[in-house]
Structure 1
Amino acid sequence: MARAARHSSLETRTARARLPVRRTPYFAKIAKGLRLGYYRGAVSGSWVASLYRGAEGYDTKAIGAADDTTDADGATVFDYWQAQVQARNWAERRRLFAAGVVRTGPYKVADAVKDYLAEIAAEKKPAAVQGAKYVFDAWILPDLGSLEVDKLTTERLVRWRNKIATEPKRVRTKRTATEAARRKTPDDDDARRARKATANRILTILKAALNRAFFADRVSSDTAWRKVKPFKRVDEAVVRYLNIAEIRRLVSACPEDFRKLIEAALYTGCRYAELTRLKYEDYNDDSGTLSVRLSKGKNRHVVLTEEGKSAFREWTKVLQPGQRIFLRRDGRIWGTSHQQRPLDEASQRATISPPVNFHILRHTHASYLAMAGVPMAVIARQLGHADTRMTEKHYAHLAPSYVAQTIRENFPVLELGSSRQVIPLHKRSA
C-alpha cells in the first residue's frame, strides 16, 4: 500500500483555514503524475484529484467536501487522508480503463454476471456453472440485469430480495402439458421459511458475482450489497429420513437398474453424482471401502458395512477396469437429472408422501449413524463434510445426548399413574 503524502498546509482544517480564498485549488503531489487539490471557499472547501495524462493533459475528478466545518464520514465529507485514498483509487481505475482491463461505458449487473460466468468456467465443473447460470437467468437478470452496478442501492436490493422471499415457488411445466403449471403461494410457516432460505441462496450467488467485479476493479464500491443481509434463522436443520419399513417399500418399488442406485445411496450416504461416477476400480473389496473421486474437489474413502460390501461385490463381479458400476437399463450413463422422476414414481408406488428425493437417502444413512451414537467427526468423514459444523447442524439432535441420558437416569419415578384412574361416583339415594 502506498505511503500517504504529507502536506502541512492541507493536513488539518486549522491549517487550511489560514489559506487565502481563491478560485484555483491548492495542490499536493501524492504520487507520480497524481495531485490532490483543495478548493478554498469562503466558508468551507472541497477536494479534487488531478491526473497527468501526458500529451492529453490532465484528467480531474471531484472527490467531495472537505471536513472544514463537518466531521468526515468517508462518504461525502473527507479529511485529507481519506481524500488521498479516494484520489489514488480513482487514478488506479483510470489506469485500468486506459489499459483496457476495465471496460468503458456503464457497467451493468448483466455485465458482471457475464464476466463471472466466464471466469468460473475455468474453476468449476460444467454442472455448477450451468446451475449458476439458471439462477441468474431466472431470478437476477430479469429484475437487476439492466441496472448499473455503481448505481445499485441497498434499498433496491432489499426490495428485490423480499420479492423473491414472497413470490410463489417456481414449478416446471411438463413438456406434454397444455397449460403452464400453477405456482403455489407460500401459505404456512415452513413454506415461508423455505422461500426465505431460497432468497438467501440467490442473494449469495449475486454477491459472488458483484464481489468479483469489485475486486477486479470493475466497479468503485461494494457498499450497496455489503449492507444487504440474509434472512435470519431460516436454514434451521429439518432432517427427514426414512424408517426401515419405508426403506424396504421404496427399494421394492424401484426398477432393477434404479434400485441399485437407491441401495448404494442407503449403504454409503453418497450423493447421486458421486455414485453415478463410480467405476470398477473404485471399490476395494479387501478394505471394504469406496474411493469417491473428485467430490467437491477432493477424494474420500467411504466405509461399507458387510451388507454393503456384499452388494458391491455382486455388482462388480462381472465388470472390467474402467467400467461404471451403475448404468441405466439401456447401457447409458445416468445423467444429471435422471433420478427424480423414477424416485417420484417409486414413492407413489410405495405410498411415501411427500415423494423422496435423493438427498433424503443421504440424510437417512447419516441419521441412523447419529442415532447409533457414531461420533459427529466420523459421520462428517463418511459424508465428505469439510468439518463437523454441517454434520452437527443436521444430525446432532438425533445423537444420544449426555444431558438427556443424565436426566432420564436421575429423575425420580413419581408413580402418578394411579392419579389418572377414574373413580365412579355413587348415585345419591332419593
Structure 2
Amino acid sequence: MARTVRNAKIDSRSARAKLAERREPYWTVISAGCAIGYRKGAKGGTWVARMRDEAKQHYEALGAADDSRDPDGLTVFSFSQAQERARDFFTRKARELAGHAEPSQGPYTVSAAVSDYLAARERRGSKGVRADRYAANARIIPELGSIEVAKLTAKRIRDWHHKVAEAPKLLRTGKDAAAQKTAPVDSRDSEAVRARRSTANRLLTVLKAALNHAFHEGKAASDEPWRKVKPYREADAAVVRYLSALECLRLVNTCEPAFRNIVRGALVTGCRYGELTRLKVTDFNRDAGTVAVRQSKAGKPRHVALNTEGQQLFSALTAGRGPRDLIFTRADGDAWGVSHQQRPLIEASERAKLDPPATFHILRHTYASILAMRGAPMGVIAAQLGHADTRMTEKHYAHLAPSYVADTVRSALPAYGIVDGAAVVAMR
C-alpha cells in the first residue's frame, strides 16, 4: 500500500473545523501532477481528486469527509481513505489517457461496459456525458450493473425498462440530503405516463449504446439480447411549450439585472445555456450582425443571425470590453456555472406568474416556435439551432408553420354558426 501523505491542516476532524469555508479546495500534493483537496462547505466538507496532464486538469469527486459522521469507507471517508480512492482515480485516469483499457479483474459486467462507453465518449469530446453518467448511476447501475454482459438476457433488460417507466420521478436533491427525493407518478395522467416512458427510452438508448460499444470492442459475443428490446412507442411525442411575447416581456422584467441579460440572449439567439455562457466579445460580429457559437452540442460551430433587437443587445453588452471577455457574466463578474441558471429562472418565473416555470430549453423552444409560426423554412431554423439536419426541427416545429393544408381548410370550411358568443374576444 502506498504511503499516506500527512497534512496537519486537513488530516484530522478538529484541524478541518478551524478552516474557513471556501469553494476552492485546500490541496495536498500526493505525487507529481496528482493532488487531493478538501472543499469546506457550510454543512461539512468533501474530498476531491485532481490530476494534471499536458492538456488539462481532470477532477473526481471522492465523497464526503468525516466532519460530522464516522468514516465508513463507502459514503464518508477519512483523509487516509480518501487518498486510497484518489490513487485509484489517478491509476484509472492515467490508463484512459494512455488509451489502455482497464485490466481484467473478472467477468465483464454492465457497469464496466457503461464506464468504458462513457470514457470513450469523453475522450472524443462528446457532449452530454455528465448527464448520461448521472442518469446511468441513478437508474442503470443499481439494477443491472453487477450482471455479466455475457449473461444479460432480453427479458432482464425488458423487465428493467418497464420498471424504470413505472418508477417515481427523481427530484433535484442537495448534496447533504440523507436520501434521494422522489415524486410518485399518477398513472391516470397520460402526460405523466408518457414522460416516464420517454425517460425509460432515453435510458434504454444509453444502455444499448454502452452494450454496442462493448460488442464492437470484442467484449461481448453477441448483441442479440438488447437488439430484441424495443422502446415504448409514441412516448417521445413532441410536446412544445413556448412563451408568448407578453410572457417573454414579463419574464425579462422580473429577472435580476445580470441574469436578465442572459435570458435576453437566449430569446434573441435560441442558443443553449452552455453556449451562451461560453460566448466571448470576439464572437459577436457587429458588421455582419451574427454571433459565432464555436462549441455546440453537435460538435459543429455555427453562426447565428441576429435581428435588430439582438444586434442592439449584443452591441450594448460588448461595448468597451476586451475581445476575450465573456459576454454574459454574473453580477460579481464571475462566469456563470453549470447549474447557476435554474434557481434564478424559477424565481423569475414565479414573479412573472408563469406556470410551469420557464427553463432555458423553453426559451430555446420559444425562439424556434416564433420563427416557425412566422413562416421561416425548417432548414433555416435547423441551422440557427445547430441541428444536424431538419428531422428534429420538423418533429418539434413543423406543425406550427403555415402550411398549404391549414390555409386550404381555413379558407374552404364554412362558419356553421354553432358557437355561442362569437362576438366575445378573449383577453390575454
TM score, norm. by length of structure 2 = 0.71
Counting only pairs closer than 5 Å after superposition, residues 82-101 of structure 1 correspond to structure 2 as none
Q: Given the superposition, is the C-alpha separation of residues 218 and 329 from structure 1 closer, same or farther in structure 2, using an over 3 Å criterion? A: same
Preserved CA contact (<8 Å) 1:173 1:181: yes
Query: 1:302 maps to what in 2?
Result: 304
Preserved CA contact (<8 Å) 2:170 2:181: no
| Aligned equivalents of 1:205, 1:346: Cα separation in 2 | 34
Q: Given the superposition, is the C-alpha separation of residues 208 and 176 from structure 1 closer, same or farther in structure 2, using an over 3 Å criterion? A: closer
Counting only pairs closer than 5 Å after superposition, residues 356-367 of structure 1 correspond to structure 2 as 356-367=358-369
Counting only pairs closer than 5 Å after superposition, residues 269-348 of structure 1 correspond to structure 2 as 269-295=270-296, 296-348=298-350
Matched, 1:268 2:269: yes
What's the secondary structure of 1:121's corresponding residue? helix
* 2:252 counterpart letter in structure 1: V
Task: Kindly state the Cα deviation for residue 193 of structure 1 after the two structures are TM-superposed.
Answer: 0.3
Preserved CA contact (<8 Å) 2:168 2:182: no
Task: Kindly state the Cα deviation for residue 108 of structure 1 after the two structures are TM-superposed.
Answer: 1.1
Given candidates 372, 376, 379, the residue that maps to 2:378 is 376
Task: Kindly state the Cα deviation for residue 346 of structure 1 after the two structures are TM-superposed.
Answer: 0.4
Task: Kindly state the Cα deviation for residue 404 of structure 1 after the two structures are TM-superposed.
Answer: 1.4
Equivalenced residue count is 320
Q: Given the superposition, is the C-alpha separation of residues 179 and 380 from structure 1 closer, same or farther in structure 2, using an over 3 Å criterion? A: closer
Query: 2:74 maps to what in 1?
Result: none
Query: 1:211 maps to what in 2?
Result: 212
Query: 2:27 maps to what in 1?
Result: none
* 1:315 counterpart letter in structure 2: L
| Aligned equivalents of 2:132, 2:182: Cα separation in 1 | 24
Query: 2:200 maps to what in 1?
Result: 199
Query: 2:223 maps to what in 1?
Result: 222
| Aligned equivalents of 1:134, 1:414: Cα separation in 2 | 55
What's the secondary structure of 2:294's corresponding residue? strand
| Aligned equivalents of 2:340, 2:347: Cα separation in 1 | 12
Q: Given the superposition, is the C-alpha separation of residues 106 and 416 from structure 1 closer, same or farther in structure 2, using an over 3 Å criterion? A: closer
| Aligned equivalents of 2:333, 2:364: Cα separation in 1 | 25
Q: Given the superposition, is the C-alpha separation of residues 199 and 416 from structure 1 closer, same or farther in structure 2, using an over 3 Å criterion? A: closer
Task: Kindly state the Cα deviation for residue 173 of structure 1 after the two structures are TM-superposed.
Answer: 2.7
Q: Given the superposition, is the C-alpha separation of residues 412 and 195 from structure 1 closer, same or farther in structure 2, using an over 3 Å criterion? A: closer
What's the secondary structure of 1:290's corresponding residue? strand
| Aligned equivalents of 1:120, 1:401: Cα separation in 2 | 40
What's the secondary structure of 1:291's corresponding residue? strand
What's the secondary structure of 1:319's corresponding residue? coil
Task: Kindly state the Cα deviation for residue 299 of structure 1 after the two structures are TM-superposed.
Answer: 0.8
* 1:320 counterpart letter in structure 2: G
Preserved CA contact (<8 Å) 1:267 1:365: yes
Counting only pairs closer than 5 Å after superposition, residues 15-414 of structure 1 correspond to structure 2 as 103=104, 105-125=106-126, 128-174=128-174, 181-187=181-187, 188-295=189-296, 296-412=298-414
| Aligned equivalents of 2:178, 2:132: Cα separation in 1 | 29
Q: Given the superposition, is the C-alpha separation of residues 103 and 407 from structure 1 closer, same or farther in structure 2, using an over 3 Å criterion? A: same
What's the secondary structure of 1:294's corresponding residue? coil
Task: Kindly state the Cα deviation for residue 415 of structure 1 after the two structures are TM-superposed.
Answer: 6.0
Task: Kindly state the Cα deviation for residue 174 of structure 1 after the two structures are TM-superposed.
Answer: 3.9
| Aligned equivalents of 1:184, 1:412: Cα separation in 2 | 47
* 1:327 counterpart letter in structure 2: T
Task: Kindly state the Cα deviation for residue 414 of structure 1 after the two structures are TM-superposed.
Answer: 5.1
Task: Kindly state the Cα deviation for residue 137 of structure 1 after the two structures are TM-superposed.
Answer: 0.9
| Aligned equivalents of 1:193, 1:205: Cα separation in 2 | 19
Preserved CA contact (<8 Å) 1:271 1:358: yes
| Aligned equivalents of 2:374, 2:197: Cα separation in 1 | 33
Q: Given the superposition, is the C-alpha separation of residues 182 and 197 from structure 1 closer, same or farther in structure 2, using an over 3 Å criterion? A: closer
Q: For structure 1, which runs of at least 5 residues remain unmatched after alignment?
A: 1-99, 421-430
Query: 2:77 maps to what in 1?
Result: none
| Aligned equivalents of 1:393, 1:195: Cα separation in 2 | 20
Task: Kindly state the Cα deviation for residue 124 of structure 1 after the two structures are TM-superposed.
Answer: 2.4
Q: Given the superposition, is the C-alpha separation of residues 122 and 413 from structure 1 closer, same or farther in structure 2, using an over 3 Å criterion? A: closer
Task: Kindly state the Cα deviation for residue 182 of structure 1 after the two structures are TM-superposed.
Answer: 4.3
Task: Kindly state the Cα deviation for residue 294 of structure 1 after the two structures are TM-superposed.
Answer: 2.1
Q: Please give the root-mean-square deviation of Cα atoms over the aligned residues, in Å.
A: 2.3
| Aligned equivalents of 2:363, 2:279: Cα separation in 1 | 17
Preserved CA contact (<8 Å) 1:102 1:217: no
Q: Given the superposition, is the C-alpha separation of residues 416 and 145 from structure 1 closer, same or farther in structure 2, using an over 3 Å criterion? A: closer
What's the secondary structure of 2:171's corresponding residue? coil
What's the secondary structure of 1:407's corresponding residue? helix
Preserved CA contact (<8 Å) 2:290 2:303: yes
Preserved CA contact (<8 Å) 2:379 2:390: yes
What's the secondary structure of 2:302's corresponding residue? strand
| Aligned equivalents of 1:105, 1:182: Cα separation in 2 | 35
| Aligned equivalents of 1:208, 1:328: Cα separation in 2 | 38
